[in-house]
Structure 1
């Protein structure tokens, strides 16, 4: 951990600089999210500026990957300060970057799917087939038939009819709904948010409006991913500052070469 020759920081100083409360600083230290503070002879905690940077790194990581993943990542890095390294930190940050990139690609693919559906509704394409079986629809969407049954239970993509042999037939409206549901679910949206979009689709003349709402949802998703990516960049810089070895101290009176 980088050293600093400034005065030791109290818990209140760290809380003020990091934006966390006194109790949060103590709790995060107890969880291993920041390295242990040194203790004075009377038992008071003594922190360094690197502890503030570690807390800022945690804030950024929590925004990018979630607080649970951030706590686990930093606790592993700081479990033994002799083994925590820039290489390990870089690998961990890189893994989160990969995850965010994948989420962004999924959201973009979902937007492309919605654009295709919107074009079909506008009559620029052949549109959906009249009917599909559950097996055919699952194969077209790249999901399991059990997933379609679950969506049906949740009131999403309800089949046109179920025969006496429990064979499901999906009409063009249900197929369109299933495609939109698949696009939103692939981008990480929960059932309640998707159900709201489907409800809009089922209003009179609500198909276009529902598609537009789904696109708004995906736009917000992409904005969130961008904000999480920026937070991760800042966290990486703070984490590097914590783990980077301090430059060797110059002997007293040593002169700096100008060459």
Structure 2
């Protein structure tokens, strides 16, 4: 006897907002678990399939469709505890992106302050770096702070975007306050989709400090980046209830073995 509660492909498509073909494609990609096949070989879906597709839509808006597909496919193999940790990592990642853009804004304000007082950015940064060791970072520390690879920082250096000092006989890189600020702005610009030539042009204008033209170019870019991160955060929140339903369908966390 057929399960009257089962959903057809067309039902899932209507409830999720995807087309019938998209539902089939997303099933093939593992975004939703494979549907049960009835005796006549038709697909029979359950409400969790609709919830998973809605969750995927929100995740795609938050982290992009590729990352969302990978995350959803991975969730079905995890326990509730593991899956919840993976989703929490998405929230943490967005919060980190926002914090980095805010730090880039702070670096920009520092540059504007220097321009207002007709001071040199390099001289002020060197002064603070000498007075406060906490104002300097190694390449490893800065890469970790920005969420990029050390090879990315070396590439930015070769492209003239960031200029660290070289210290010790091994000529290790040391980033002072000025270089850290520049790196944060470069990271924010790259995250906003700007290519290397455009970033170089903007960074050069910041260094020139001519009539504040550099800061005026960067400020709206950073504001737009914050707005985009906020919109992505809203998409993730919108997916929250459906993600919770998906997690409810997973295997409970394994209890620790007795001592």
User: TM-score, normalising length from structure 2?
Assistant: 0.68
> How well do the aligned residues superpose, as a CA RMSD in angstroms?
3.6
Cα drift, residue 188 of structure 1: 6.4
Q: 2:108·2:185 contact (CA, 8 Å) conserved in 1?
A: no
Residues 202 and 113 (structure 1), Cα distance of their counterparts in 2 relative to 1, 3 Å cut: closer
Q: 1:93·1:232 contact (CA, 8 Å) conserved in 2?
A: no
**How many positions carry a matched residue from both structures?**
217
Corresponding residue for 2:241? 237
Structure 2 Cα separation of the partners of residues 30 and 218 of structure 1: 39
Structure 2 Cα separation of the partners of residues 243 and 131 of structure 1: 49
**Aligned with 1:214 (options 200, 210, 218):** 218
More helix by share: 2
Residues 197 and 215 (structure 1), Cα distance of their counterparts in 2 relative to 1, 3 Å cut: farther
Corresponding residue for 1:48? 46
Q: Which has the larger Rg? A: 1
Structure 2 Cα separation of the partners of residues 241 and 226 of structure 1: 24
How is 1:184-223 mapped onto 2 (pairs within 5 angstroms)? 184-187=185-188, 189=190, 192-193=194-195, 195-196=197-198, 198-199=200-201, 201-202=204-205, 206=210, 208-223=212-227
Structure 1 Cα separation of the partners of residues 152 and 79 of structure 2: 42
Q: 1:128 is paired with a residue of what secondary structure?
A: helix
Q: 1:185·1:194 contact (CA, 8 Å) conserved in 2?
A: no
Corresponding residue for 2:123? 129
User: TM-score, normalising length from structure 1?
Assistant: 0.68
User: 5+ unaligned residues in a row in structure 2: which ranges?
Assistant: 141-149, 165-170, 172-176, 250-259
User: 5+ unaligned residues in a row in structure 1: which ranges?
Assistant: 160-166, 168-174, 246-259
Cα drift, residue 17 of structure 1: 2.4
Structure 2 Cα separation of the partners of residues 187 and 11 of structure 1: 42
**Aligned with 1:91 (options 79, 85, 88):** 85
**Aligned with 1:102 (options 96, 109, 116):** 96
Q: 1:61·1:235 contact (CA, 8 Å) conserved in 2?
A: yes
Deviation larger for 191-200 or 38-47: 191-200
Residues 73 and 148 (structure 1), Cα distance of their counterparts in 2 relative to 1, 3 Å cut: closer
Q: 1:237 is paired with a residue of what secondary structure?
A: helix
Residues 244 and 97 (structure 1), Cα distance of their counterparts in 2 relative to 1, 3 Å cut: same
Structure 2 Cα separation of the partners of residues 117 and 156 of structure 1: 15
Say if 2:113 is the partner of 1:119: yes
Cα drift, residue 69 of structure 1: 2.6
Cα drift, residue 141 of structure 1: 7.0
